[in-house]
Structure 1
Amino acid sequence: MKLRYAGTCARCGTPIDAGVTADYDRVSRSVTCVACPARRALPEPAEASASPRHAITPELPPHLEAVDGTAGGSAVREFDRRHDARQQRVQTAHPRIGRFLLAVFDDPQSTKAWATGAVGEQRLGDMLAGIAGPDLRVLHDRRVPRSTANIDHLVVCPSGVYVVDAKRYRDARPELRVEGGLIRPRRELLFVGGRDRTKLVDGMHKQLALVRAALADQPDVPVHGVLCFVDADWPLIGGSFTVQGVAALWMKKLRTTLTVPGALDPDRIADLQWQLHEAFPRQKESSAARA
């Protein structure tokens, strides 16, 4: 494989630059030169103990846990930012009765929506943690470079890569509506609780384009988009659907989807997880969050 990071040959000790083709042993997590001779460059045990300074310690490639990142982290931080900013504005404008006003009047809906969304992401994150392992790896709350946007969840499993956006609309039913078809162009729309939420599908397509671009060198890996509605009002029979190529479903249905067999083995899944981590790093936590 072409190395994404520089390393040192475990046999002869020669430095290997990033981008150079080399042999990679996933079991020992070591790299070796493609044309390296037999394993005579490694010192014998007695020689190594006599001259430890000459022993070769291969540079290990980076490693991620099966679940990387914090689900809902960005939503929690945004809620805290808005909540704290409002408190400061009210207390500055009304120094005498500011605390009373804050106690009587709650945060606006635009602020509370971030807390609601965080709960949905965290619940979905807990479900994914329960099925994560060598053959299903997860990246939570990923930063989109040169943008303020983020990706809620990236899942790599045998059937491909899934871009999952968690949405929490309590007791509201998602449904597919189709307009046009004969005279006008056919268009699929997403409605939730009777309101047009097709913009959620548009947002998912933007995320899918970014992920597919990051995996441009892996054309055989399927990339799927999923809107997972937490606490929605789903019917007892059926319910899930696809709108403009994006799946709309609930957590249990998503779990079933992610655990079906596929072509990707654990080694390939781990490599894809790291490649996505490089393209979409973890969100930077504030000092308050780390404390």
Structure 2
Amino acid sequence: MRLRYAGTCRICGSQLPAKGDAIYERVTRTVRCVTHEVSTPDAVPAGHELDLALPEVVPTGTAGASARREFERRKAAREERIRAKHPKLGGLILAVSEEPQSTNAWNTGALGEEKLGGGLDRLASGKIRLLHDRRMPRSRANIDHLAVTPTGVYVIDAKKYRGRPHLKIDGGLFRPRVERLMIGSRDCTKLVDGVLKQVDVVRALLEPEVPVHGALCFIEADWPLLGGNFTIRDVHALWPKKLYPKLQAEGPLTTETIAEVHGILAKALPAS
């Protein structure tokens, strides 16, 4: 059948995208990849038991979940304060006033993560395994998205910023070379520092032969019609349509290794 909604193969745990073909098993109400052959009890030799054990399915998490919760928490706290201070006019004040920028920033961040998460989920397969909104050990920060692919693990930070991202290089022959990430006229190099910290955390969890890449994916930024994406201190700065081909590229990691790495990261970096 053609799936109306995305699902998970009950045999290998692969993500099955919406509108993709799959086999629906009515008895268990589960789906599986069309490439899997499933033995029936009639095919089992006498004296042998049919092994119906299913592989562990690793939950991917929900993109933007922690940012969305923080936005709702701040919004509700503000509403409670205003209604307590102005019992009669609180509703009117809330209707004609806007949320503070510090609160709206959480909503903007959640929207960016949710939009990119939806695009990434459409790529999910046995060769592209995803994790969303993961907690970093001993830190209040989180990792927006992790993609385990044949070319390695991608640590992806989603940003919904206005302006054009570009690389600014200072120094040269007689001064140290300094690379800066600019968005319009703003120096946003701290975003690169944040991704590199996340990359270090992920790299420490894995074997050295597993490549770990950092990516800043800007949602709805003012990119030029041609070119535009760049690399700064080994971190890719790009947008979704430039990111997806990197995740789909062929590489040295096998499907089995991808599943193993995915499981390690899911256990070490729980959902926020």
Q: TM-score, normalised by structure 1?
A: 0.75
Question: Which residue of the partner structure matches residue 189 of structure 2?
Answer: 198
**Using the alignment, how far apart are the partners of 2:221 and 2:257 within structure 1?**
34
**Using the alignment, how far apart are the partners of 1:100 and 1:230 within structure 2?**
34
Q: 2:218 is paired with a residue of what secondary structure?
A: strand
Q: What number of residue pairs does the alignment pair up?
A: 231
Which residue of the other structure, out of 176, 179, 187, is the alignment partner of 2:170? Answer: 179
**Using the alignment, how far apart are the partners of 1:59 and 1:257 within structure 2?**
35
Specify the code of the residue in structure 2 equivalent to 1:112.
N
Q: CA deviation at 1:60?
A: 6.2
Question: Which residue of the partner structure matches residue 225 of structure 2?
Answer: 236
Which residue of the other structure, out of 65, 78, 82, is the alignment partner of 1:90? Answer: 82
**Using the alignment, how far apart are the partners of 1:45 and 1:107 within structure 2?**
69
Q: Deviations over 1:205-262 (max 9, x none)?
A: 11011001111xx111110000000000111111000111111001000011111110
1:203-214 → structure 2 map (5 Å cutoff): 203-214=194-205
Which residue of the other structure, out of 59, 63, 72, is the alignment partner of 2:57? Answer: 63
Which residue of the other structure, out of 104, 116, 121, is the alignment partner of 1:124? Answer: 116
**Using the alignment, how far apart are the partners of 2:117 and 2:55 within structure 1?**
27
Question: Which residue of the partner structure matches residue 270 of structure 1?
Answer: 259
Q: CA deviation at 1:173?
A: 0.3
Q: Deviations over 1:30-73 (max 9, x none)?
A: xxxxxxxxxxxxxx834x6xxxxxx79797663326xx111111
Q: Deviations over 1:57-110 (max 9, x none)?
A: 797663326xx1111111110100110111111112222222211111110111
Question: Which residue of the partner structure matches residue 45 of structure 1?
Answer: 46
**Using the alignment, how far apart are the partners of 1:133 and 1:114 within structure 2?**
30
Identity of aligned residues (%): 53
Q: CA deviation at 1:152?
A: 0.2
Q: Deviations over 1:162-191 (max 9, x none)?
A: 000000013x10000011223332110001
Of 261-270 and 175-184, more deviation after overlay is shown by 175-184
Asked if 1:189 is matched to 2:180, the reply is: yes
Q: TM-score, normalised by structure 2?
A: 0.80
Higher Rg of the two aligned structures: 1
Q: 2:253 is paired with a residue of what secondary structure?
A: coil
Asked if 1:138 is matched to 2:126, the reply is: no
RMSD: 2.1
Q: 1:213 is paired with a residue of what secondary structure?
A: helix
**Using the alignment, how far apart are the partners of 1:60 and 1:122 within structure 2?**
30
Q: Deviations over 1:95-136 (max 9, x none)?
A: 222221111111011111111111111111111111110000
Specify the code of the residue in structure 1 equivalent to 2:262.
Q
Q: Deviations over 1:6-42 (max 9, x none)?
A: xxxxxxxxxxxxxxxxxxxxx9xxxxxxxxxxxxxxx
Identify unmatched segments of 5+ residues in structure 2.
1-35, 37-44
